[in-house]
Amino acid sequence: MAKIKIEEGVVHTVPDDISAVLTSNDELLQKWNALTPLARNEWICWTTIVKQEKTRAEHVKRLAEDILDGKKRPCCWPGCPHRRPSAQKYFK
């Protein structure tokens, strides 16, 4: 059995909940792996930075839908505060 390759972000690694969604849909995984490392990083951070599990589940669902629709990055996201110090002001 071949191992499935899931590309990572620049700062963040792919957590289990995102990995499960990506591996459940071949088209989604292909589009994910075609994103730039910075774009993947933004999706991972946008999904994992939330505080509530319910919100995180909604973000994982939206990540899948948006990437399948051809979106490259999360809408209305100031950027990963772990990579961009200028974005940290939005997360205090």
How do the pLDDT tens digits run along the chain, 92 residues long? Answer: 567 899 999 999 999 999 999 999 999 999 999 999 999 999 999 999 999 999 999 999 999 999 999 999 998 888 888 877 777 777 76
Write out the residue range of the structural domain in which residue 47 sits.
Answer: 16-91
Would you state the pLDDT for residue 86? Answer: 75
Q: Would you say residue 10 lies in a domain?
A: no
Q: Would you say residue 7 lies in a domain?
A: no
Q: Which amino acid is present at 8? A: E
Q: How far is CA 24 from the centre of its chain?
A: 15
Number of domains in the chain: 1
Q: How far is CA 66 from the centre of its chain?
A: 10
pTM: 0.88
